[in-house]
Each structure stands twice: as structure tokens, then as C-alpha cells.
Chain A
Amino acid sequence: MSWLRDIDRWFMVEVLPHAAAYRARAAHFCGRDDAEDLVQEAYARVLGTSDYRAIAAPRSFVLTIVHNLALERLRRANVVRIDFLASMGVLDIADGAPDAFAIAAGRSDLQQMLQLINALPPQCARVVHMRKIQGMPPAAISEALSISVSTVEKHLAKGLALITKARRDIEAKVEDFCPATTTSLSQTLT
């Protein structure tokens, strides 16, 4: 994929595989509803770092960003229990987990990916299957299905977006191990 910059390759290899851990951490602090937003914001900070090569432990780095962003948000919100905030501030959040793959369990599982493709709308599934599993070039798919190349493109784009979102949802389910703390957060300061 020549259209990827070095930073994108680094991001895909070092940062994205641990998405489930970031979402779990974010959900722990901010609740499930805000978790995705928080993670996206953390991603944006990481991808906006020009000296990304200097980041020795990308996973811990992103987790720390998530933690700091959560703190910022909680400080702005006026519905946070003060003891919760205090305990968060002193938490030791060092994360040297050697096996991030285990925590990101479920992601990129091939069988799951196949199921996701098969669950797409029929024509969309067919095009994704031909392009990504059978390795047919877009022109050959257009020929085989008697549709235009731009329609092939549209199906691929739709399938790709749907699968990317579905994988986020699956990661969110992994977080069920660590239920969100929304209940304690909703108590108003008095």
C-alpha cells in the first residue's frame, strides 16, 4: 500500500493492534459512551506527533494519553465524585503488559473477519470477497459482475467502512470484562 506514510505504517503496527486496551481504559474512566470519542482523540494526538519514532512504548504512551485526556474531561465535568478523581490522580497506571495481543483478543481473527464479510449486503460481500480473498483486480470484478469500476469502488468502500465499524463494536464487547463506571460518575457534587 504505497499510499501509506511511514507514520501510518508505524501507527498500524504499533498503535492500532491495542485498540481494545485503549477502549477498556477509556471506558473505565469515562463510561462506554464516551470511550470511542476519547480513543479517537488520543489517536489524533499520536498521529499528530512529528517525532513518533522516539516513542519507545507506543501502547503505554497511548494509554497514558487516554488517562490524561480522561482526567482533563473529568475535571471539566461537574458531575464527578471528588474521591473518584482523587484516587484516579494517584493511580499507578504504568502498563508494561508484555502481551498486548492477548488483551486485544478477538481483533483480526480471520474467522471473525470472514463472518463480517459474509454479513455484508450480498453484492457488497461479493465484491469484497473477490477483491480481498480471491485477489481479483477491480477491473476484473467489474467485468465479471457486469458493473462499472466506480460501482466496484463504491461496494468496496461501503464494505470496508462497515467492517471497520463492526470491529470497533466487537472490541467494545471485549470491554464488558471491565464494565464502565458510569453509575459512580453520575453522582453530582454537592
Chain B
Amino acid sequence: MPGNHNISKPDADLTEVAAGWLAALDSGSADMEAFEAWRNSDVRSAVAFAEVASTWRDMDSLRLAQGDMQVETPAVEQPSRRYVIRAAASIAATVIAGSGIAYNAYARDTASTDMGERRTVSVDDGLAVDLNTDSCIHWRTGQPTRLWLERGEVAIRLAAAQKAELRTPGGTFQLMPGIYNARLRDASCELAVVKGSISGAGAVHIGQGEIALATAGRIAPRSREEADIDRVTAWQRDTLVLNGESLDYALAEINRYLPNKIVIGDPALSRIRLGGTFATTNPEEFLDALRTSFGIRATPSNHGGIILTRP
């Protein structure tokens, strides 16, 4: 944290120490006993270690998603010939030993939407995809047809006898005939089974009306209470359904559709809870509701967005 306040920041150094331990553990050079002793010495060490381990884990998602993203290898200024040959050999070995990452990268079709846009694409006979705002999906037809969700949210409709494999940064789903809603949330993917069923790694089976969350290759069902399919699919009717959520949450949802974001200008407002159904195509309606129910004022900001304040 830059700045000239002189609060001692032991955790800043702890992050570096924790990263050092993790790198040593990774390469196998660490003394496990010494590591445990360090971690047990102070709970702040354990916190720092969990935090760097979390970064380390999140970077793994990059590898899982590698076929889906334009990854630029950092430029090598003046590589020696020996370096190039060795690097090439190592990378080749990794790809062969790996999970067919290079195979993913070619001959894919792509569809995407801008913010506020919605689109339907027909991938194959009996396979259609609706893209919500700010979304991107790739596919390659075959047995089975593969879909890669790169960004945003999609609804996937599979006719009888059609199957597909959906790959996401959070994990891969095998989709049976039916209707599904997939939404990326950070490095995870939330998949709702509107109709049909899915399976994933570890023989997980998720049935109709259920929602699963895939994170780092692991698929876990969400609790029944959380599975509200109507709400999940409301975007296809251009609506946002709120049921007592905070204004923070409501704005995060509605801002997905707006190039010019609505932000909270008064922290106290974020605790307000809202209910109702709002059009995602028309933020005015939402702002009107805020004004009439809570007296919240919406003012245009310098950057084209909207700031909410109390009167």
C-alpha cells in the first residue's frame, strides 16, 4: 500500500516470506518441518500462506483455460539458440504429457455480445445458444460438439439426441439433451439445469432444477434453497428479479447491462435491500423505483455513469 502513513506493515513482508515457502514447497526443496514450524509460529503467517496459495491456485485456472484464451508468452529479448531448442523441447514434452491443450486451439467458431446486447446463435442442428450481455463463446462441432464459455452468460438448448461438452475456466460439464444456463463468476462457472441433466468430473450428477458450481475443475451442487431457476433465466425475458438483496448486489447485476455504470456515492446506501422485477433494458425504471421508494437521487457523473446519493 503506497502512501506516507507510517503504520508498520509486517504482513507486507509476510507475503514475500509466504511466497518463498510456497515456491520452495513447489520445487520440493523445502524442509517440511521448518515450514510447519514457521506456519504455526504466528497465525498471520498462516493467513499470508493461505493468501499466496490462493493466488497460486487461481493461476492454475489459467492453464485449464489456456486453449480458450489468447495467451502471450512474454517476449524473450535475445534468446540463445540453446535456450530456444531446450525451451521448445520442454514445451513439446509438456503438451504431450498434458491434457491436449494444443488440440483445443484450432478451428473454432466464435460468437460474442457487447454490453447490453443479446444474441442467439445456432451452433448445430438441434443446438442453439443465447448469449447474454457482454459474453463470448467458442465452439467446434463434432462428436460431441464442444463449447468453450470464455466470458459472461449463455443459455444452451440441446434437442433430443444431442449432447455437448461445455468447457469453462471452472471445469467441464457433459450436457445431456435439455436446457442449461451457464454463467461465469470469476474463475468459477455456475450451471443451472433448467431441463435435462449433466455430469462432470468425479461422476457428479446434477438433475433438473438444480444448480452446480464448478471451481478449479471440481463440480459441486448448490443447495436446493439457492436454486431458483426462474431467477436464473430471467435475463432471457430481459428482467432482473430481486428478492431482498442489497443495493450492492442489485447494482452489480444491473451494471452488467450498462456501459455507463451506476455507482453508490454514499456508503450507507449499500445496506438498502430491494425487491421486485426490473427491466434490464431500461435502467430508468430501476432508478425511478429507487427514487420513489427510498428517496435516492441519481446524478450523472463526469465519466458518463450515474451516482446514487441520499437527498
Which chain A residues lie closer than 8 Å to B65 at the CB level? 110
Number of residues from B at the complex interface, CB < 8 A: 81
Interface centre among A24, A157, A169 (most CB of B within 10 A): A157
- Whether B60 and A132, one on each chain, are in contact in the complex, defined by CB atoms closer than 8 angstroms, is yes
Q: Of the 9-residue stretches B80-88, B110-118, B137-145, B282-290, which lies at the interface with chain A?
A: B80-88
- Whether B53 and A135, one on each chain, are in contact in the complex, defined by CB atoms closer than 8 angstroms, is no
Q: Of the 9-residue stretches B10-18, B126-134, B201-209, which lies at the interface with chain A?
A: B10-18
- Asked if A132 meets B50 with Cβ closer than 8 Å, knowing A104-B186, A163-B55, the reply is no
Q: Output the least CB separation between B36 and chain A (Å).
A: 9
- Whether A161 and B15, one on each chain, are in contact in the complex, defined by CB atoms closer than 8 angstroms, is yes
Distance, CA A111 to CA B151, complexed state (A): 10
Distance, CA A185 to CA B46, complexed state (A): 32
Q: Of the 9-residue stretches B69-77, B155-163, B174-182, B192-200, which lies at the interface with chain A?
A: B69-77
Which of A96, A113, A146, A161 is B19 in contact with, Cβ under 8 Å? A161
Which chain B residues lie closer than 8 Å to A122 at the CB level? 74-75, 77
- Whether A138 and B90, one on each chain, are in contact in the complex, defined by CB atoms closer than 8 angstroms, is no
Number of residues from A at the complex interface, CB < 8 A: 83
Which chain B residues lie closer than 8 Å to A128 at the CB level? 59
Q: Would you call B52 an interface residue if the criterion is a C-beta within 8 Å of the partner chain's C-beta atoms?
A: yes
Q: Would you call B43 an interface residue if the criterion is a C-beta within 8 Å of the partner chain's C-beta atoms?
A: yes
Q: Would you call A51 an interface residue if the criterion is a C-beta within 8 Å of the partner chain's C-beta atoms?
A: no
Which chain B residues lie closer than 8 Å to A138 at the CB level? 26-28
Give A165's nearest chain B residue, CB to CB.
B15
Interface residues of A, dominant DSSP: helix
- Whether B186 and A47, one on each chain, are in contact in the complex, defined by CB atoms closer than 8 angstroms, is no
- Whether A140 and B94, one on each chain, are in contact in the complex, defined by CB atoms closer than 8 angstroms, is yes
- Whether B185 and A136, one on each chain, are in contact in the complex, defined by CB atoms closer than 8 angstroms, is no
Which of B50, B61, B246, B253 is A47 in contact with, Cβ under 8 Å? B50
Distance, CA A128 to CA B56, complexed state (A): 10
Q: Would you call B234 an interface residue if the criterion is a C-beta within 8 Å of the partner chain's C-beta atoms?
A: no
Which of B25, B83, B87 is A3 in contact with, Cβ under 8 Å? B25
Q: Would you call B310 an interface residue if the criterion is a C-beta within 8 Å of the partner chain's C-beta atoms?
A: no
Interface residues of B, dominant DSSP: helix
Q: Would you call A152 an interface residue if the criterion is a C-beta within 8 Å of the partner chain's C-beta atoms?
A: yes
Which chain A residues lie closer than 8 Å to B311 at the CB level? none
Q: Would you call A79 an interface residue if the criterion is a C-beta within 8 Å of the partner chain's C-beta atoms?
A: no
Distance, CA A145 to CA B73, complexed state (A): 14
- Whether B57 and A144, one on each chain, are in contact in the complex, defined by CB atoms closer than 8 angstroms, is no
- Whether A144 and B86, one on each chain, are in contact in the complex, defined by CB atoms closer than 8 angstroms, is yes
Which chain B residues lie closer than 8 Å to A102 at the CB level? 185, 249, 252-253
Which chain A residues lie closer than 8 Å to B22 at the CB level? 3, 156-157, 160
Which chain A residues lie closer than 8 Å to B50 at the CB level? 4, 8, 11-12, 16, 43, 47
Distance, CA A136 to CA B94, complexed state (A): 6
Q: Could you give, for residues 92-131 of chain B, a 1 whenever the CB lies within 8 Å of some chain A CB and a 0 otherwise?
A: 0110001000000000000000000000000000000000
Distance, CA A175 to CA B59, complexed state (A): 24
Q: Would you call B29 an interface residue if the criterion is a C-beta within 8 Å of the partner chain's C-beta atoms?
A: yes
**Which 4 A-B residue pairings sit nearest by Cβ, starting from the closest?**
A102-B252, A161-B19, A101-B185, A138-B27
Besides A3-B32, A4-B50, 18 new A-B residue pairs in contact (Cβ under 8 A), listed by A number: A12-B54, A47-B46, A103-B252, A105-B186, A108-B187, A118-B72, A122-B75, A131-B26, A133-B66, A135-B98, A136-B90, A144-B87, A145-B87, A146-B86, A153-B24, A153-B26, A161-B20, A179-B265
